[in-house]
């Protein structure tokens, strides 16, 4: 990774985190509700049978209603789970969020060890969080590269999930950065 691109990414992370702090709980709740409605109404979501979700952190859109709707409609719902031996992530099936998701590293929640793994090739949609996205479908993650690894191992569609304030005109990228096929915000549905 070039040091110039690393520096640009760090700068964007700082800017986007600062912008994120300007938005309160009520605004986040309403934006999350509208975002979930937008995704639920999309053909991409309706057609999906196996979806990789994420357990939202406090600074990410709250997609828990979408998770519940997916489970209720019979979709196979999976979440990333860390594999210590290889220091990578795999997909694991969750049937009951309250029971199956447990605290994990980086302040995340992930499937418990007893949740069955799911081959990545069985996924047909991945909902993807980030610190930011750009209007070209590029994603700025937290800087560890774990999600990019997980995104590169399956042909399933990738849909970025973001608040409107997380989307900028253009972000720096590198060859390993996985581009999105779609980007959903409370006010937009972009196709790339």
Total residue length of the chain: 192
Does the pTM exceed 0.85?
A: yes
CATH superfamily of 3-191: NagB/RpiA/CoA transferase-like (3.40.50.10420)
Distances (CA, A) of 180 to 10, 87, 189: 21, 24, 12
Residue 138: CB atoms within 10 Å: 21
Q: Where are the domains of the chain?
A: 3-191
**DSSP bridge pairs for 133:** 139, 167
Instruction: Read off the pLDDT of residues 14-66 as tens digits, 9 standing for 90 and up.
Output: 999 999 999 999 999 999 999 999 999 999 999 999 999 999 998 999 999 99
Q: 149: alpha, beta or left, given left = phi > 0 and alpha = psi -120 to 50?
A: alpha
């Amino acid at each position: 990774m070039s040091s110039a691109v690393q520096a640009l990414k760090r700068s964007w992370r700082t800017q986007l985190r600062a912008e994120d702090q300007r938005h309160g709980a009520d605004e986040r709740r309403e934006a999350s509700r509208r975002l979930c409605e937008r995704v639920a109404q999309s053909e991409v979501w309706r057609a999906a049978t196996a979806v990789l979700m994420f357990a939202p952190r406090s600074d990410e859109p709250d997609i828990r209603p979408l998770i519940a709707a997916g489970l209720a409609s019979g979709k196979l719902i999976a979440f990333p789970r860390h594999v210590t031996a290889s220091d990578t992530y795999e997909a694991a099936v969750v049937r009951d969020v309250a029971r199956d998701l447990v605290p994990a590293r980086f302040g995340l929640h992930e499937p418990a060890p007893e949740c069955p793994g799911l081959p990545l090739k069985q996924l047909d949609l991945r909902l993807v969080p980030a610190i930011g996205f750009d209007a070209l479908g590029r994603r700025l993650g937290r800087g560890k590269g774990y999600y990019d690894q997980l995104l590169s191992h399956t042909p399933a569609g990738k849909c970025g999930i973001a608040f409107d304030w997380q989307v900028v005109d253009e972000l720096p990228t590198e060859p390993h950065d996985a581009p999105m096929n779609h980007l959903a915000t409370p006010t937009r549905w972009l196709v790339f």
